[in-house]
Amino acid sequence: MAGDVRGRMVEGAALLLAKQGLQATSFSEVLKATGAPRGSIYHHFPEGKDQLVGSALELVAGRMLDGLAQLEGRGVVEVTEHVLHLWRTVLERSRFSAGCAVLAVTVAAEPGELLTHAAEIFRAWRSRLAGLFAAGGLAAEPAARFAATVIASTEGAVVMSRAEQSMEPFDLVAADLLDQAHRLST
């Protein structure tokens, strides 16, 4: 059962990061959201909030990488569509209340371990996406450029859509990314 409590806390922290950001993701909020007992805080996270947030980032990072792993051997357009679908789903299911937990930490963290951790995650996502694009037929340099463009564009589109409470910014960015993917594929 102890593993279940820790897992619930990590899951709850990831969701709170995506919805409320780093500062609002306190131990109290995580406990309230997950129903975990107060005594479990320092039992599972003896190094404090940064340890909990780091674990939540790992969960989010792993889910994205697992999703990308399923796309091995697919074309540039299909991979791009998958990434767009993933973020569209986040926006729709959360009714524009959630975004990217990694981005939330990136914009709020002071220089240090959490910011370094977020950078490593973005690099891993970018590298994996570039690898998929290269396997889908792009040369290494265009694959790396397009991977960075897809990640930066979707992250920004999610932020804009959340702010405007509308899919319009996301749809505009998605259409442009798909146009680029089609051009790169020919």
Residue ranges making up the domain that contains 59: 2-185
Single pTM value for the model: 0.92
* CATH number for 85: 1.10.357.10
User: Is the pLDDT score of 3 beyond 80?
Assistant: no
Can you give the pLDDT at residue 42? 83
Number of structural domains (the chain) is 1
What secondary structure, in 3-state letters, does the chain show?
Answer: CHHHHHHHHHHHHHHHHHHHCCCCCCHHHHHHHHCCCCCHHHHHCCCCHHHHHHHHHHHHHHHHHHHHHCCCCCCHHHHHHHHHHHHHHHHHHHCCCCCCHHHHHHHHCCCCHHHHHHHHHHHHHHHHHHHHHHHCCCCHHHHHHHHHHHHHHHHHHHHHHHHHCCCHHHHHHHHHHHHHHHHHHC
- In the chain, % of residues over pLDDT 70: 98
Q: What is the pLDDT of residues 76-85, one digit of tens each?
A: 999 999 999 9
Q: What is the pLDDT of residues 126-153, one digit of tens each?
A: 999 999 999 999 999 999 999 999 999 9
Can you give the pLDDT at residue 37? 86
User: Is the pLDDT score of 2 beyond 70?
Assistant: no
51-68 average pLDDT score:
96
Can you give the pLDDT at residue 26? 86
Span of 25-34, 123-132, 146-155 with lowest mean pLDDT: 25-34
User: Is the pLDDT score of 1 beyond 70?
Assistant: no
